[in-house]
Amino acid sequence: MATMFWRYGPKRFGMAIKSKCNTVLDFGSGLGHLVRILNYKYNLSAVGIEMQTQLTEEARKLDLEFEYTAKKHLTDECMTNLVRPTHCNVTLTSLDQLHQISLPKNAKRYGLIGLHPCGDLGPLLIKHFVKSNKVKFICVVGCCYMKLSCNNEPCGYPMSTYVRELDNSLTYVSREIACHAIETYCQKLCRGDYKDLKVHAYRAALEKILVEMDPEFKHMPIRNVKHTNDMSFESYCEAALRHSPLQSLQTKNLEEELKQWKRVVVLYTLRLMIAPLVETVILLDRLLYILEHGIPCAIYPVFDPKISPRNHIIVGIKS
């Protein structure tokens, strides 16, 4: 992931220069790696916006650790002139919140960047870019399409007038599969690592149990679990639900269904074949929305999809 951050940083810096922005807002900044690069390496005023307090606190600690090390190699004057990162805790759900974010005093023109903003956050940033005169560029890589609000407000999909007038329905299942890594999956199929893919059958069986317990548990978020050949279904369920309020499950009477795991792998493979098409529909809808407002924009592959399956960045810049 470090390689990806270093590759991502210079590109965002170039966009800031091209659009004459002196400030960048990084949404979903996590531990602040990108913000740290833009501030300390490129002297660009960058603000990290993260919803998890723990990550923000860790980001500030990493800033201090960096400055402690830098102080051994830089003069006092250089240390005084360092452009230091700003880290904020905000959970964004509306455009009004974006206007209320506390920015550096010199932030007259700024850009928006987001590496994998979840669900509706990506569309929200795009809308802010289109509607705010202060926002001059956007660089956003989408993720978690299954969490998009569809055909209701706030509408994460479809965004464009063109797609709204079409038969545009995308199911939860189709949007969820579009977030998975077809490249890594193909490698496993080519190597014959079929037993590693048994985890999909385990996930399907767990979903059945949860829905039988309570229909409200359908599509309930669970922990990702890496399957091993000696992992039992019971062990998988325990690991997947480790931080869940659910304490025990009835996992018996599923032996015959779990024996059909190869059929689940075949079905999953067929679904995954159309995943890139679904993602393309979502990304082109976002692109069209920006173009409909008269703003030039484009989509580029920005890093190796084997590092992360969501690797297409939408770039827009205002004159």
Residue-wise pLDDT tens digits, 43-64: 888 999 998 999 999 999 999 9
Neighbours of 266 (CB within 10 A): 11
Sequence-ordered strand ranges (E) for the chain: 23-27, 45-50, 86-89, 110-118, 135-143, 297-301, 312-317
Top pLDDT among 154 and 268 is at 268
pLDDT tens by residue, 2-23: 344 444 555 556 788 888 888 9
Top pLDDT among 177 and 152 is at 177
pLDDT at residue 260 in the model: 86
pLDDT at residue 3 in the model: 41
Q: How many CA atoms lie within 13 A of 186 on its CB side?
A: 9
Identity of the amino acid at 97: Q
State the average pLDDT over residues 222-247.
82
State the average pLDDT over residues 265-286.
92
Identity of the amino acid at 247: Q
Q: Which is the CATH superfamily of the domain at 2-169+275-317? A: Vaccinia Virus protein VP39 (3.40.50.150)
For residue 218, pLDDT over 50 is answered with: yes
What does the alpha-carbon distance between residue 304 and residue 310 come to, in Å, rounded to a whole number? Answer: 9
pLDDT at residue 11 in the model: 55
What does the alpha-carbon distance between residue 291 and residue 65 come to, in Å, rounded to a whole number? Answer: 43
pLDDT tens by residue, 101-116: 878 777 788 999 998 8
Query: If pLDDT is split at 50, 70 and 90, which confidence band does 128 have?
Result: very high
Question: Against a cut of 0.85, is the pTM above it?
Answer: no
pLDDT at residue 247 in the model: 63
